[in-house]
């Protein structure tokens, strides 16, 4: 599997993502600077990492969504490549229109940083195939603007089409329907606030995030 991690000014989880991908796939990802206008040829997976791109000015992810590289990310998604946005990456995907809705300030108006239980709602995507539907896993979160919101019609569509793939088991940040992660209509673009890359090896204290990357690797072959 050939993967790439997009690096924006202010990204601080790009190395975490790179280590997780290398750990699971055995191949280091290519690190792509946000000013690039094309992705390396043959990329199977594009990862948008967490952090505070552009210092979260305007809105979280708003400026990064307009970086030159996002045109290439959009093209990769359209041709069927897997696109994974974690935390700030999820914010960028919504700002870029690759996923619906928006990530708002946490309802507690405070930064949330802890392990949280998630319920796997849909195990039929490449990202979730190594989980069981209804299974509860534990993944760390670290965000200030993770409160997912969308209009009622969008929420109904996401639920009806099985596009909510992860849900907080307990109220975490005020997200509508306790949504923690969603996919696009094609199922190849996933945005989630929790950090699976921080739960892939024994030193992390848990391995629940590892299966997400294993599922992508298995799907791509």
Angle between helix 210-220 and 14-25 (nearest 10): 60
Active-site annotation holder among 34, 143, 144, 195: 195
Active-site annotation holder among 34, 95, 121, 197: 197
Enumerate residues 6+ apart whose C-beta is below 8 A from 199.
138, 139, 140, 205, 206, 207, 208, 209, 210
Alpha-carbon gap, residue 13 to 150, rounded angstroms: 26
Sign, Cα dihedral of 22, 67, 102, 58:
positive
113 is catalytic: no
Check residue 114 and report its DSSP letter: E
The arrangement of strands across the sheet holding 3-7 comes to 30-33, 3-7, 45-48, 82-86, 189-192, 179-183, 164-168, 112-120, 136-143
Active-site annotation holder among 13, 34, 87, 143: 87
Contact 4, 38 (CB under 8 A): no
- What φ, ψ does residue 68 adopt, rounded to 5°? -55, -40
197 is catalytic: yes
13 is catalytic: no
Which residues are known catalytic residues? 87, 195, 197
């Amino acid at each position: 599997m050939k993967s790439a991690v997009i690096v924006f000014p202010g990204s601080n989880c790009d190395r975490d993502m790179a280590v997780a991908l290398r750990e699971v796939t055995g191949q280091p990802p290519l690190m792509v600077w946000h000013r690039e206008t094309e992705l390396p040829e043959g990329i199977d997976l594009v990862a948008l990492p967490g952090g505070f791109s552009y210092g979260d000015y305007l809105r979280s992810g708003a400026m990064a969504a307009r970086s030159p590289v996002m045109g290439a990310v959009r093209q990769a998604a359209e041709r069927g490549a897997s696109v994974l946005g974690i935390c700030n990456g999820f914010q960028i995907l919504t700002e870029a229109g690759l996923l619906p809705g928006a990530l708002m300030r946490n309802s507690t108006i405070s930064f949330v940083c802890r392990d949280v239980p998630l319920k796997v709602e849909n195990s039929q995507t490449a990202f979730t195939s190594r989980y069981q539907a209804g299974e509860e896993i534990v993944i760390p979160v670290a965000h200030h603007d993770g409160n997912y919101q969308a209009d009622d019609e969008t929420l109904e569509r996401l639920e009806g089409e099985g596009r909510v793939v992860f849900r907080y088991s307990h109220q975490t940040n005020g997200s509508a329907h306790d949504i923690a992660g969603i996919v696009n209509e094609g199922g190849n673009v996933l945005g989630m606030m929790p950090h699976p890359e921080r739960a892939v090896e024994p030193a992390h204290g848990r391995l629940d995030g590892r299966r997400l990357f294993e599922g992508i690797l298995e799907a791509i072959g």
